[in-house]
Structure 1
Amino acid sequence: MTINLQIDEALVQQALAVSHQQTEQTERDVVEQALREYVQRRQQMKVLDLFGKIDYDENYNYKQQRHQ
């Protein structure tokens, strides 16, 4: 997909500088990596929201399950 965006050039250059990639990255590579990290972070936040909301059986014995 082709999208034309105006992105702060200094921000892109800073992202290139901190990317620590072995190969030469393009601006496109940096933007794609930023989007991947953004999506991953949002998915992690959804999982964190579940803590304390899932009921479990208090009599569950994980040690017994391991031996089966």
Structure 2
Amino acid sequence: MSVTQIDIDEDALARAMALAGVRTKKDAVNLALRFYAEQQERAARIAMHFERARHWGAVEHAERLHQAEKDAR
């Protein structure tokens, strides 16, 4: 862990602390950083799976099925 001095939006910090139920600024910032990192990692995994599906032709198949459903309406 390192000590870092930064300017933080106090209103956003207070809201995040209340929503997360944390008592310290440090806990709120660490929680937000972990949440952000997890979201970005999850997005990267989804993108990887989407590209695999595109490679297999699954995306185009799903698009054709979707279009057929729309045309049937």
TM-score, length of structure 1 as denominator length: 0.68
- Superposition deviation, residue 50 in structure 1: 1.2
Mapped partners of 2:36, 2:50: distance in 1? 24
Q: Residues of 2 paired with 1:52 and 1:32: CA distance?
A: 30
Q: CA RMSD in A?
A: 1.6
CA distance in 1, matches of 2:10, 2:50: 42
TM-score in terms of structure 2 length: 0.64
Q: Per residue, is there more helix in 1 or in 2?
A: 2
Q: Percent identity over the alignment? A: 23
Within 5 Å, give how 1:53-68 maps onto structure 2: 53-54=51-52
Q: 1:40 aligns with which of 35, 38, 41?
A: 38
Any unmatched runs of 5+ in structure 1?
57-68
Q: Which of the pair has the greater relative contact order for Cα pairs under 8 Å at 6+ separation? A: 1
- Runs of 4+ displaced beyond 2 Å: 51-56
The aligned residue for residue 26 of structure 1 is 24
Aligned residues: 53
